[in-house]
Structure formats: C-alpha cells, structure tokens
Structure 1
Amino acid sequence: MGTRLHLAAALHATGEEAFTATHWADLVREAEHGTLDFVTFGDSLGGAPGLDAVLTAARVAPLTTHVGLVPTAVVTHTEPFHLSKAIATLDYVSRGRAGVELVVAPDPADARHFGRRGVGPEPELWEEARDYAEVLRRLWDSWEDDAEIRDEATGRFVDREKLHYIDFEGRWFSVRGPSITPHPPQGHPLIAASEPLGDIVFGDDPSVPDRLVFRDADASASAGQFAAWHAEGFAGFRLHGDLRRITRELVPELRERGLFRTSYEETTLRGRLGLARPANQFA
C-alpha cells in the first residue's frame, strides 16, 4: 500500500449551480489543484433534480488533465451494454482517467419511473450488480488492443478476429456482445462500489481482501485522524464537505507529514492507485 494515502472528493452542487457545466468544471479544477486522486459525481433516480453524472464527467474531462473522474451509475434500472460504452468513451476523452461507481436502487418509487420491473431485497440487487460489473469488464475486453486496422486502401476498419462475443448468461440479463467501442485506454476503467465487486470499496472495513478500501469522511476531520485511519489499513478517503478546505488546508498539512503527493506522476487513474492494467481475458 505504501506510505502515502489516497484522497478523493465527493462533488456536490445544489440549486441553479447544479445545472451549469462551468460550476462542475471549476470544482474538478479545484480538486486537480489539490492533486486529489479522483472525484465522484453523485447521481440517483429519486433524489434532488440534477444533471446526469456520466455526461457531466464527460463534459468536464477535456477541461482537466490529471484528476480521475468517477461518475455514479444506478445499475438496477440501466443496461450494462450502454454503460460499458459510456464509461469506455469517458476513458478515451479523459485519456485514461475514468471510473464508475455502481449503486443500486431498492426504492420501489424508483422502479415506478421505469415501469418495467419491481425490485427485490437489497442483497439481491447487489448480486445483480456483481453480474453487471462482470459484464462491463467482458465488454471492455471484447476488443483487443490492436483490433482497429483503419486501412483506407482496403476499406477495412477492424480485424474481426480480434473482436469477441462475450456470451454472458445470468439470472438478470444475457449479453452477447461485442461492444461497439474499442478497448479503453486503461483496459478496465476503475469500478467502485460500497460492496466488494470492483477495484475500490467505499466502506468502513479496511480488511476486505484484494480491494482498495476508501473510508467516507467529513472534510472537517484533523490530518492526524486520517493518519491514524491510514495506519489501520485504509488505502484512502473520500471526503465530503468544503472542497477548498480539503485542497487548501488539509492537503498541505498531509504533505507536511509526508502522507500525500505534491504533484501528479502516473498518467492513468489505475496507475495512480497502484492498479495494474488488466490482461485482456479474450486475447
């Protein structure tokens, strides 16, 4: 895990500012000023009105260069094929800084927005989300890195031998594939959730095996508390609250303690978090 901790910020906006791209871009630039690892964009089906998290992240991606962009996706009522290409696209426009936080929607009122299905108990929804995450990974891998030919002379765009059907069959959905978006720059954009089904777990138990565990915390906590939690085994923290207080007060204090970076080094989000680029399972 190393001696330095990781920091992320949960971005929030209310009122009219929540509907302006300029405001979101300013927030992300502030996070980048503080050399944070990534930011998350909240989203829900039944909460306060707001912009789509994935589209917002894609809008601000070209305006930043380093900080990771992790929008929320409610997987209970969305299709994995559509999300896979949206996050792959975000990985391209951000040049390898994309991720996605998967959440579920157990509220029957959310289901009534769609009218296609009821919802079961929350543990069952997380089982569905686990399959969902697996389909995302397989669709991202359905193109090999060198599948694109782009040969104008022969009119061949892609090597069909390097595109793969994923043929996923599960309880909740079946997906044949392949994707219509080439293999993302990171191979697999980051997958986060409050359950251990991806690369990062947002939770309170630092002992989850083979996962980076981020603890949610308020920005008002002293740097010493983060150091103590980090010593307990937490890889990092997703902070809520005043973003400028995080970047202008907390980050300098953590740097003085030698616990946080002073500049960006790795170019991809996976690389910054010490996660290897996954081998393509179909290659």
Structure 2
Amino acid sequence: MTASHGRGLLHLAAAVDQPAAHDAASHVEAARLAERGGLDFVTLDDTFARPGPDALAVLSRVAPATNRVGLVPTVTTTHTEPFHVQAAVATLDWVSRGRAGWWIDVSSTEGEARLFGRRHAAPADELWREAGEVADVAAKLWDSWEDDAEIRDVATGRFVDRDKLHHVDFTASAFSVKGPSIVPRPPQGHPVRVVDATEGHARPTAARYADVALVSAASSAQARAVRDHLRGLAAEFGRDPDTLRVLVSLLVDLGDGEHAAEAGHGGGGPRQTAQGPLYRGGPVDLAELIATWHTQGTADGFHLRPVEPRRDLERLINGTVALLQHRGLFRTFYPGSTLREHLGLAKPVNQYAVTGGTS
C-alpha cells in the first residue's frame, strides 16, 4: 500500500542516460525497470554540447511502451523557439496520457551558440531569466485552449469552439508569442516542470516556475539549507511552498554489491566529486541514507543517477527500492496515472477560463 510519514510521501526518480546507446530499446528497458519499482519519473538528459539522440524524441518512443512512470526529457530554452518547445512537451503529455515532464535547462557555451549562429553565449543570470520567461509563456500557451475547447461536431463541421481559444500576446526580452498553441491543453494541464536548482543562478526560476527542483548536495545539512531557501523564494513569489517538490540528485555507484559504503563516504553518505555528489556502496546502505535524510526533512525525495546505467539501475530497483517498500517508506503501486498524481500535485486551473482575460 502507499506509505507516508510525518514528512509526507517519499518521491524517487532515476536518470536513464545511456551515452553509448543510440537506439530506443535500451531506454525502453530502463524505463520499464523504473516503472516496475514504482518510481515517480525517469529523466533523460540532453545538450547541444555533445552528440546523441534527442531526449524528447526518445521518450516519445518510450511512452507507448510504458504505462505509469513519468517521462522527463531535458529541453533547453536557449537557441530554441518557445512556441515549438511547449508544443513538443504538450505532445509528449498527450502520447504518454499525462506522464510528461520537462527538465528546463540553458545552453551557456559559445560552442553551442555557434551551432545556431544567431547570437553569442550569454551570462548565466541572463539565460535563466530567459528560461523563466519561456516557462511562463509555455504555461500560458498550454492554457490557451480551455479543456473543453474541442467540439469535433461532424454535423456542423466545427472542430473547436473559438471562444475557448485564447491569444497569449506575450512579449519577453528575446522573443514574443501571440498564440494560441497548436496543441490542445495537455492532459495534466501543465506538464511537470523540473529545474536543477543546485546553482544559485537557477534558483529564482526554479522557485517561481518549477514543480520539481533538483539539488546536488553532499550532506543532509547542505540539501536542507537549499530546500529551505527554495521554499522561502517560492513564498516570496506568491506560491504555496508545498507545491514545490525538492529532490536531492545523487550519482550512485552500486558496483560493490551488498558491501558497505567505501571509507570516506561518511558512514554511507555521499562525497563530492568533479561530476557531483557520489554515493558508492551497497543498495542497503543507500536505502538507509534515503530513509534517514527524508525523515530528517532534508528533501521530498531523491533523483538517482546511476554511474553504470544497466547494473546500477537494476540494483537500485531490486535492492534499494525493494527495501524501502518493505519498510513501508515507498509505495508498491501507483495510486494514479499521471505524473502530477505521482507527485501529489493538483492539475492547474486554466488561467484564461478563470479570468476570461488574455494576458
């Protein structure tokens, strides 16, 4: 059954990045494994800075091969067209029947800028302000169709009620969008927006627009401090902080099987590396770390990134997650069907249906 305790439900997600894989089959296999463990969602990273398949397209292929697990590709807001990005994410929500998320990221290097030739690289603060504007206009475009805008009346030939389509007329620092969207309102209303808020530049955008904030932290105290900061910022922006889920993002190396975490990990805790905080040890100690940090109020859950994709994900699901389920700390089945339901987040009210406005 679904378990909870004083700190609320534990949320777990995993990365299914496989740098050497260019086919969909291995990603389907990984997502199905994560789904078998009841994970909230899987992420697939993407960047213009390295070669590889398009993350959103890969997870669109994974969607019909899975039933419950959330699917969260990285899609940059730099050098991309906001109108096209929101339509693509909305489409993923439709083809997955309400399981889409969007890991919002920026492209900061001159090499990435040269791929497009439209502008030079920009400072991080500027890029994240733009990312916030893209997140904002995406929500407006998702709302530009009211839920019952589609008529599909064969007799009259009317497909849509034009009174329930809305122009957003949005002007930002680097783009403008009139709308409405070309895709009907997604099943979740707004697909889940995810931001890595480890760096300070990204935190205002995460606090204002994200449903899930990821935080790389090497200690419980560090993670809790960032979570408190993000919740405080969310309140300043007029949000209920309880609508923001903060997950600790950890690299995990479970290659030592059931052996204890190696010396230097602080009794099973992570240690800082060039790639970010790394946990190296066994699935049992990892389960203990997750349970302890969650009970302490460190975070709402964990986003786990396997060092060795196939091996570590399997040990994570069959070892760590199974143990957490056995202890009643993590669900053994999905109580709902959408990613928002997994995260305990309500479907947003359509801003235009409520106000009748166009801005």
> Is TM (by shorter chain) over 0.5?
yes
The equivalent residue for 1:30 is: 33
Structure 2: which 5+ residue stretches go unaligned?
1-5, 197-201, 216-222, 232-240, 255-278, 280-285, 307-311, 354-359
The counterpart of 2:214, out of the listed 202, 225, 250, is 202
Equivalent-residue separation in structure 2 for 1:206 and 1:258 (angstroms):
24
The counterpart of 1:232, out of the listed 294, 297, 308, is 297
Equivalent-residue separation in structure 2 for 1:77 and 1:245 (angstroms):
38
Equivalent-residue separation in structure 1 for 2:135 and 2:350 (angstroms):
15
Equivalent-residue separation in structure 2 for 1:131 and 1:217 (angstroms):
28
Equivalent-residue separation in structure 2 for 1:2 and 1:266 (angstroms):
20
Asked whether the 8 Å contact 2:108–2:123 carries over to 1, the reply is yes
Structure 1: which 5+ residue stretches go unaligned?
none
Asked whether the 8 Å contact 1:37–1:269 carries over to 2, the reply is yes
Are 1:214 and 2:284 an aligned pair?
no
The equivalent residue for 1:252 is: 322
The counterpart of 2:147, out of the listed 136, 145, 148, is 145
Are 1:40 and 2:43 an aligned pair?
yes
Equivalent-residue separation in structure 2 for 1:250 and 1:27 (angstroms):
16
Over the matched positions of the two proteins, sequence identity in percent amounts to: 50
Asked whether the 8 Å contact 2:40–2:339 carries over to 1, the reply is yes
CA deviation string 1:197-220 (max 9, x = no partner): 311111142222122111111334
Question: Which residue identity lines up with residue 239 of structure 1 in the other structure?
Answer: L
Matches within 5 A, 1:96-245: 96-194=98-196, 195=202, 196=206, 197-203=209-215, 204=223, 205-207=226-228, 208-209=230-231, 210=241, 211-219=244-252, 220=254, 221=279, 222-230=286-294, 231-241=296-306, 242-245=312-315
Are 1:81 and 2:102 an aligned pair?
no
Asked whether the 8 Å contact 1:4–1:258 carries over to 2, the reply is no
Cα deviation for residue 255 of structure 1 reads 1.3
Equivalent-residue separation in structure 1 for 2:16 and 2:185 (angstroms):
28
CA deviation string 1:103-146 (max 9, x = no partner): 11111110000001112211110010000100110000000001
The counterpart of 2:347, out of the listed 265, 269, 277, is 277
Asked whether the 8 Å contact 1:3–1:259 carries over to 2, the reply is no
Cα deviation for residue 269 of structure 1 reads 0.4
Matches within 5 A, 1:63-82: 63-82=65-84
Larger-gyration structure (1/2): 2
Pairwise CA RMSD: 1.2
Report the secondary structure of 2:347's partner residue.
coil
Equivalent-residue separation in structure 1 for 2:109 and 2:102 (angstroms):
21
CA deviation string 1:181-237 (max 9, x = no partner): 001000000000123131111114222212211111133442121122212330111
The counterpart of 1:59, out of the listed 55, 61, 64, is 61
Report the secondary structure of 1:240's partner residue.
strand
Report the secondary structure of 1:267's partner residue.
coil
Report the secondary structure of 1:206's partner residue.
helix
The equivalent residue for 2:24 is: 21
Question: Which residue identity lines up with residue 122 of structure 2 in the other structure?
Answer: G
Cα deviation for residue 3 of structure 1 reads 3.7
Cα deviation for residue 2 of structure 1 reads 4.7
Equivalent-residue separation in structure 2 for 1:30 and 1:169 (angstroms):
43
CA deviation string 1:139-164 (max 9, x = no partner): 00000001001111111100000000
Aligned residues: 280
The counterpart of 1:6, out of the listed 11, 27, 33, is 11
TM-score by length of 1: 0.96
